[in-house]
Structure 1
Amino acid sequence: MATVFLTGFPGFLGSALVERLLDRHDDDMTVTCLIQSKYRKQAEERAADIEADADRIDLLEGDITDAGLGLGDAYDDLQDETVEAYHLAAIYDLTMNREPGKQVNIEGTRHVLEFVAGADVDRFHYVSTVVVSGLYEGRFTEEMLLEGQRFGNHYESTKHAAEVLVQERTDEIPTTIYRPAAAVGDSETGETQKYDGSYAFIEALLEQGEYAVVPAPRGAGDAEFNVVPRDYVVDAIGYLSDIDESEGKVYHLADPDPPSTVELIKTLGEAAGKTKTFVPPYPKGVVRGLLESLAPDHELVESGGFEFQTWSASFDCSNTIEDLEGSGIACPRFEEYAGDLVAFYRNHPEIDDAGMR
């Protein structure tokens, strides 16, 4: 039976994307998800949630860091059956060490590419990230990749190296690349699997009274803080992956008109019901030092997210906007869904900053 191969289930994006793929394809098409053994229970529960199509989801335990994807004898049969592939699995951690990032993000992508190259796929869909831009200053287009940029952490550098591998084989493998900005919860419900990145601002705001103070590094009033709701990312991938025009293209799934860091914090403050939110500018080292001494476990300290408060790049979304035209899919403005993010955070304190992408 023909199948769609997918990595990154039951992760944040992968879980939602599987539903879109099942809806798109006929009942005789399955989706085969390569899962880590430690996520078996979570994957089974997530598949069961998709009640109407749970029997069309095949869960195969494996490991992308293994050249054979940890599949053993099942490798060749799965390769023969695969007609389309989506690679989402990655370590998303701005503070990760180089070696695990290399093994998962770079070597894992290399191994998936080898698998796909041996399959007769109609298309390979690779989920990259806008932070392949690294510390590039200025407008970063969808055609740019090798710009001599430096990188602020091993997540950026390993995801960049992985996309280089993918782009090097586009003549051989029909490919579409998606570069999401930082994904947050659903724009309608606020639902998310983890609280990281910009959720540190929500945490800081809700810990304070009617008047809140959230210091930010100098330059945060001018720097774009680009986040996108999960449903936009998944809807865009679901649509773009199904059109012929997307072959060979790169898509920035980012907010084309993002708020600055200061604007984002103040919008969250308003959504949290604050009478006034003050965002005083301080040297980055001072803000970091204060948090490290007063709240060493705060998400802003642990996540490495300081750099993104003064992001030096902005992202051109021309390919995305052009090819989504007429689809009804567009990135909502941050202020339209900020309240949903805050409400979900308030109502679900059991969620933490751990999770899969």
Structure 2
Amino acid sequence: MTTVFLTGFPGFLGSALVERLLDRYGTGDEIACLIQSKYRDEAESRVDELLSPAGTEAAETEPAIRLHEGDITAQGLGLDDETADRLQSDTAEVYHLAAVYDLGVSEDVGRAVNVRGTDHVLDFAEACPDIERFQYVSTCYVSGRYDGVFTEEMLREGQTFNNWYEATKFLAEVEVQKRMAEGLPATIYRPAIAVGDSRTGETQKYDGPYFVLQWLLRQPRLAVLPLPPGADEFEINVVPRDFVVDAIAHLSGLDESEGVVYQLADPNPPTVAEMSRLLADAADRRLVSVPTTRTIAKRSLESVPGVYRLMRIEPESVNYFTHPTRYTSGHTLRDLSGSGISCPPFGDYVETLVEFVRENPEIDSSAMV
């Protein structure tokens, strides 16, 4: 029997990844998901959705999905000793996805969840006698505001950070790479900005490019959007959820992926101006761009009465309209070669994202914490 231990369920990426892992493992295997108590009902509902389509006979050949209530911010992950001992004795692979995905996260929360939480999951993995791999989901934005091309070999480059989300994810990856250098078999995945599924548009929350899309949709056909100088040069690197989880599911199954960092990024991302035009076209809006600067836009959203209430664009997201970093994905492209998995161009699925937003206006930007 193989036990796979996973954090981040029933989150946006975690739920989709468990669905992919069901295809890899079989009868007698177990996917053990660490969940917070407050998400118990949602997690159970998601398990039912994942298993029921297969039918009774097919489900009997699939691995079991077992939910274990705990907390990555607690020593021992909040598990009782008996459960922890059993899981560690059986676990061969750990997938650590749990994090606070929120650009406006406070330092205290970011350090508790993203940094100390990762330390605790690493401790759990190192206590597993038969651990074969620690699969860690980081982010491309450990780059901070590095000015230039950021490769998969880079990490500590003296960069500054836009917010505590970036800074704490950077500190967490520093610790993962430290443990990896000390002998922990690990693989690191750095997604760019994850948006909805390219085939269905499904997403769990609206942030990043969705702030711009929602602002466009709230306007009449002639829509105004402030854009910074250099909008035709700065890139916005977004990737659909299905590409991210398909890539992780494939790469995590390769022997040669041990010790490798993969940047899951669009190799040909649109510029800020191009993405704005694509979003406007898909929303059936004629775009009128108004010149502004990053500082003016951010301060207006933060402090000018009525601006945030009108536009509802998260002030922290403004930094990404003048993001000076470009990302290479050499390891990813090499090891996905021949798999049929690749990042689709944003223009190929932008209409699907817009349709989903139109049909699901109740979703907001709240992060799972």
Same fold (TM over 0.5): yes
| Residues 67 and 297 (structure 1), Cα distance of their counterparts in 2 relative to 1, 3 Å cut | farther
Query: What corresponds to 1:6 in structure 2?
Result: 6
Instruction: Quickly say closer, same or farther: Cα 1:84–1:271, change in 2 above 3 A.
Output: same
Q: CA deviation at 1:280?
A: 2.4
Does structure 2 conserve the Cα–Cα contact (< 8 Å) formed by 1:9 and 1:33? Answer: yes
Counterpart for residue 227 of structure 2: 216
Counting only pairs closer than 5 Å after superposition, residues 344-355 of structure 1 correspond to structure 2 as: 344-355=356-367
- Pick aligned residue for 2:67 from 27, 51, 59: 59
The question of whether the paired residues in 2 share the 8 Å contact of 1:94 and 1:303 is answered with no
Please give the alpha-carbon distance, in whole angstroms, between the structure 2 residues aligned to 1:209 and 1:228: 28
- Identify the residue that residue 258 of structure 2 maps to in structure 1: 247
- AA in 1 matched with 2:288: F
**d(CA) in 2 for partners of 1:229 and 1:126?**
19
Aligned mates of 2:228, 2:124 — CA distance in 1:
44
Higher RCO (CA < 8 A, seq sep 6+):
1
Q: Which residue of 1 aligns with 2:46?
A: 46
Counterpart check, 1:236 vs 2:244: no
Structure 1 residue aligned with 2:145: 135
AA at the equivalent of 1:34: L
Q: Which residue of 2 aligns with 1:32?
A: 32
2: distance between equivalents of 1:83 and 1:123? 7
8 Å CA contact retained: 2:298, 2:316 = no
Q: 1:316 aligns with which of 309, 322, 328?
A: 328
Q: CA deviation at 1:351?
A: 1.1
Among 84, 88, 91, the alignment partner of 1:82 is 91
Q: Distance in 1 between matches of 2:23 and 2:179?
A: 29
User: In structure 2, how many angstroms separate the alpha carbons of the residues matched to 1:97 and 1:355?
Assistant: 13
In structure 1, distance between residues paired with 2:315 and 2:297: 14
Report the counterpart of residue 97 of structure 1 in structure 2: 106
Return the letter of the residue paired with 2:200: T
* C-alpha contact (below 8 Å) 1:175/1:248 kept by paired residues: yes
Q: Does 1:282 align with 2:295?
A: no
Structure 1 42/342 Cα, relative in aligned 2: closer, same or farther at 3 Å? same
Alignment RMSD (CA, Å): 1.5
Q: So what's the TM-score if we normalise by structure 2?
A: 0.93
Of the structure 1 ranges 162-171 and 44-53, higher mean CA displacement relative to structure 2 is found in: 44-53
Which residue is 1:326 aligned to? 338
Tell me the distance in 2 between the aligned counterparts of 1:30 and 1:254. Answer: 31
AA matched with 2:260: K
Q: Cα distance, 1:298 vs. partner?
A: 6.2
- Give the counterpart letter for 2:171 in structure 1: A
Aligned match for 1:293, one of 305, 321, 343:
305
Q: What is the Cα deviation at residue 289 of structure 1?
A: 4.3
Read off the aligned partner of 1:196 and give its amino acid letter: D
- Structure 2 distance, partners of 1:211, 1:44, is 45
Instruction: For residues 95-150 of structure 1, give each alpha carbon's deviation from its aligned partner in whole angstroms, at most 9, with x where no partner exists.
Output: 11111110110000001001101112111100000000011000000000011111
- Stretches of structure 1 that go unaligned for 5 or more consecutive residues are none
Letter in 1 for 2:148: G
Contact 1:217 1:309 in 2 (8 A): yes
On the 8 A contact 1:93/1:303 being kept in 2, the answer is no
Partner deviation per Cα, 1:299-338 (whole Å, 9 max, x = no partner): 7643510111111100000000011000000000000000
1:74-104 CA deviation, whole Å, 9 max, x = no partner? 1111101101110000011111111111011
Tell me how far 1:208 sits from its aligned partner: 1.3
Q: Residues 148 and 324 of structure 2 are in contact (CA less than 8 Å); yes or no, is this contact kept in structure 1?
A: yes
Give the number of aligned pairs.
356
CA offsets 1:168-211 (integer angstroms, 9 cap, x no match): 01142111000001100000111111111110111111111221
The DSSP-based 3-state class of the residue aligned with 1:214 is: strand
Report the equivalent of 1:116: 125
Q: Report the alpha carbon displacement of residue 352 of structure 1 after superposing the two structures with TM.
A: 1.1
Contact 1:219–1:310 (CA<8 Å) still a contact in 2?
yes
- Counterpart AA for 1:14: G
Mapped to 2, the partners of 1:44 and 1:282 lie a distance apart of: 47
**Equivalent position amino acid for 1:108 in 2:** G
How big is each residue's C-alpha offset from its partner over 1:23-58, in whole Å with a ceiling of 9 and x where there is no partner? Answer: 111222110000001111111111110123587110
Decide whether the 8 Å contact of 2:122 with 2:176 is kept in 1: yes
Match of 1:261 in 2: 272
Aligned twin of 1:306: 318
Q: Is the 8 A contact 2:29 2:63 kept in 1?
A: no
Using the TM superposition, name which of 10-19 and 49-58 deviates more.
49-58
Look up the equivalent residue of 2:11 and give its one-letter code: G
- Give the letter aligned to residue 100 of structure 1: V
Shift of 1:2: 2.7
